């Protein structure tokens, strides 16, 4: 992105008028050395006093500065009247300029890092992930001016209600106070092959039925298998017949039209597959951005199957599984907050609680890291007898905003359609 000295003078005056932008300006951003130095002085002044220096103050600051900047140069910079320019144009162009400068600086650092690495087939994935992480995290810019809530402002004490997302299950809606809040992270915990993916697929189906736009990220099963499970549920096609029925486009079209004629228009549903232990939160976020731009719709619910088999871009080489799960959970919740959506995922429990009728927080692998981050955590309970009876018990292990901790409900599972339904059998 090229900019002339005149454009950079306009940007600088815009930053003086909106001084919170100064915190994002770095040495070397301005092509003119005098302007670059003046910007540094202005930034230091803003950091110290919380306001931009006036032309008179800048001239006074230059007097004691070792640079050879004259008052005439300061005058030529400060005398630009930004009110002569369209505010939307200045804001958009100035922000783009800052973003590009940050990216350009970090790109150079990333190239320097890559050049110092001895790349081999064994470490190429780690080097690539580290390089992507350097650009994505350290090269990003935040123009958010939200100062938070002021305790001594009565207006900020009003408890404004969020638009909760009902789950389609009365038990969960009751214990969560009417459904899930956006910006939340929901976690299912269960043993290997207990059906965590089934629960996640049922959540996806339920939210689609209620008109929410859903993305299902799979790092375990293929995207086609996920489509088959959700399709069997939503389209009422048995798993045994799905391969044959799905080949008939007219038949599938009629079933899809039947779903569209429900009480509510269904939401969108996209299923995206990432390689096991290679997909990162950065990859997921990039996919979401592309999807929303190309499809022109907002994603309300993100389902991730599942935490333990995602890659941790922050520490790709760590063998500390506690740190890995903790950081991935933190990044998932940060993604939920950043994009104002609900995120649902799952995790494994320890072998000690396999085939058990009781699961506690201590039975969950890396439970402390997850518990500190997740807003709601459930235990999926199913021993051999329950499996034979086609039933589960869902237990609330943690709930940040609700009174249902320790409550459990019995659910039935129709394996022929991969469809979970709740019963009235609830204990507290």
Residues 6+ positions from 324 with CB-CB distance below 8 Å: 312, 315, 318, 366
Inform me whether the pLDDT recorded for 122 exceeds 80. Answer: yes
Determine if the peptide bond prior to 306 is cis (ω within 30°): yes
Q: Give the number of other CB atoms < 10 A from CB of residue 372.
A: 11
Span 330-342, mean pLDDT? 94
Please name the residue ranges forming H helices in 162-312: 170-175, 196-209, 223-234, 239-246, 249-260, 281-295
Higher pLDDT, 186 or 192: 186
pTM confidence score: 0.69
Q: Which residues pair with 214 in a beta bridge?
A: 269, 301
Inform me whether the pLDDT recorded for 147 exceeds 70. Answer: no
Rounded to 10 deg, the angle between the 321-338 and 281-295 helix axes is: 20
Taking the C-alpha atoms of residue 242 and residue 245, their distance in angstroms, rounded to an integer, is 5
CA-based nearest residue to 38, from 19, 49, 23, 53 = 53
Taking the C-alpha atoms of residue 31 and residue 384, their distance in angstroms, rounded to an integer, is 70
DSSP character at residue 361 = G
Span 300-306, mean pLDDT? 95
Taking the C-alpha atoms of residue 349 and residue 391, their distance in angstroms, rounded to an integer, is 19
374 phi and psi, to 5 degrees?
-65, 145
Residue 137: per-residue pLDDT? 62
Residue 63: per-residue pLDDT? 83
Span 271-300, mean pLDDT? 91
Taking the C-alpha atoms of residue 373 and residue 350, their distance in angstroms, rounded to an integer, is 19
Rounded to 10 deg, the angle between the 223-234 and 196-209 helix axes is: 60
For 150-190, write each residue's pLDDT tens digit: 776 878 777 777 788 999 899 999 998 889 999 999 999 99
Q: Distances in Å between the alpha carbon of 80 and those of 23, 28, 32, 40, 44?
A: 21, 22, 16, 19, 22
299 near 291, Cβ under 8 Å?
yes
Q: Distances in Å between the alpha carbon of 338 and those of 183, 292, 302, 335, 342?
A: 8, 14, 13, 5, 11
234 phi and psi, to 5 degrees?
-70, -35
Span 347-354, mean pLDDT? 80
For 203-245, write each residue's pLDDT tens digit: 999 999 989 999 999 999 999 999 999 999 999 999 999 999 9
Tokens 């007097």 identify what position?
63
Residue 365: per-residue pLDDT? 63
Taking the C-alpha atoms of residue 213 and residue 221, their distance in angstroms, rounded to an integer, is 21
Burial per residue of 167-176, b for 16 or more beta-carbon CB atoms within 10 angstroms, e otherwise: bbbebbbbbb
105 near 26, Cβ under 8 Å?
yes
CA-based nearest residue to 37, from 81, 93, 77 = 77
Model confidence at 3, in pLDDT bands (50, 70, 90)?
low
Tokens standing for residue 164: 């909760």
Taking the C-alpha atoms of residue 383 and residue 410, their distance in angstroms, rounded to an integer, is 13
Residue 360: per-residue pLDDT? 82
For 37-71, write each residue's pLDDT tens digit: 999 999 999 888 888 999 999 988 888 788 888 88
Pairing between β-strand 301-305 and β-strand 342-348 as defined by DSSP bridges = parallel
Share of the chain above pLDDT 70, in %: 94
Span 119-146, mean pLDDT? 74
DSSP string of 336-354, one letter each residue? HHHTT-EEEEEEEBPGGGT
Taking the C-alpha atoms of residue 102 and residue 209, their distance in angstroms, rounded to an integer, is 43
Span 398-411, mean pLDDT? 87
Q: How many residues would you count in the chain?
A: 428
Tokens 């899809």 identify what position?
256
204 near 214, Cβ under 8 Å?
yes
CA-based nearest residue to 344, from 163, 200, 208 = 200
Residue 411: per-residue pLDDT? 97
Residue 413: per-residue pLDDT? 97
Inform me whether the pLDDT recorded for 93 exceeds 70. Answer: yes
Span 127-147, mean pLDDT? 70
Q: Is 159 exposed, middle or buried (0-12, 13-18, 19+ CB in 10 A)?
A: exposed
Higher pLDDT, 113 or 156: 113
Across 47-194, where does the E strand assignment appear? Answer: 185-190
Pairing between β-strand 408-414 and β-strand 391-399 as defined by DSSP bridges = antiparallel
């Amino acid at each position: 992105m090229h900019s002339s000295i005149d454009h950079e003078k306009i940007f600088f005056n815009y930053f003086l008028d909106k001084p919170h932008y100064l915190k994002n300006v770095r040495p070397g951003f301005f092509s003119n050395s005098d302007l670059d130095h003046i910007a540094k002085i202005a930034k230091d002044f803003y950091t110290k006093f919380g306001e931009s220096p006036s032309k008179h103050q800048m001239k006074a600051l230059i007097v004691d500065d070792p640079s050879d900047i004259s008052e005439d140069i300061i005058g030529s910079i400060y005398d630009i009247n930004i009110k002569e320019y369209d505010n939307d144009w200045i804001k958009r162009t100035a922000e783009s300029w800052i973003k590009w400068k940050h990216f350009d600086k970090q790109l150079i650092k990333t190239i320097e890092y890559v050049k110092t690495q001895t790349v081999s087939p064994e470490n190429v994935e780690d080097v690539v992930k580290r390089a992507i992480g350097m650009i994505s995290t350290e090269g990003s810019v935040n123009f958010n001016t939200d100062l938070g809530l002021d305790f001594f402002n009565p207006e900020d004490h009003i408890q404004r209600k969020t638009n909760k997302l009902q789950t389609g299950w009365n038990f969960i809606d009751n214990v969560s106070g009417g459904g899930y809040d956006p910006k939340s992270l929901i976690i299912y915990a269960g043993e290997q092959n207990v059906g965590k993916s089934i629960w996640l697929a049922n959540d996806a189906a339920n939210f689609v039925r209620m008109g929410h736009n859903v993305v299902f990220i799979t790092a375990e099963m293929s995207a086609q298998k996920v489509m088959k499970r959700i399709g069997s549920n939503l389209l009422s096609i048995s798993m045994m017949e799905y391969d044959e029925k799905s080949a008939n486009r007219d038949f599938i079209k009629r079933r899809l039209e039947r779903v569209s004629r429900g009480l509510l228009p269904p939401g969108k549903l996209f299923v995206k597959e990432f390689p096991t232990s290679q997909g990162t939160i950065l990859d997921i976020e990039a996919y979401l951005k592309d999807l929303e731009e190309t499809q022109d719709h907002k994603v309300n619910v993100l389902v991730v199957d599942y935490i333990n088999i995602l890659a941790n871009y922050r520490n790709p080489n760590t063998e500390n599984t506690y740190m890995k799960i903790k950081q991935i959970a933190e990044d998932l919740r940060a993604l939920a907050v950043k994009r104002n959506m609900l995120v649902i995922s799952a995790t494994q429990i320890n072998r000690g609680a396999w085939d058990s009728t009781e699961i506690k927080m201590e039975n969950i692998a890396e439970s402390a890291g997850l518990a500190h981050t997740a807003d709601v955590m459930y235990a999926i309970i199913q021993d051999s007898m329950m499996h034979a009876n086609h039933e589960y018990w869902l237990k609330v292990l943690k709930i940040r905003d609700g009174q249902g901790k320790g409550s459990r409900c019995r659910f039935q599972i129709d394996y022929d359609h991969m469809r979970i339904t709740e019963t009235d059998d609830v204990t507290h």
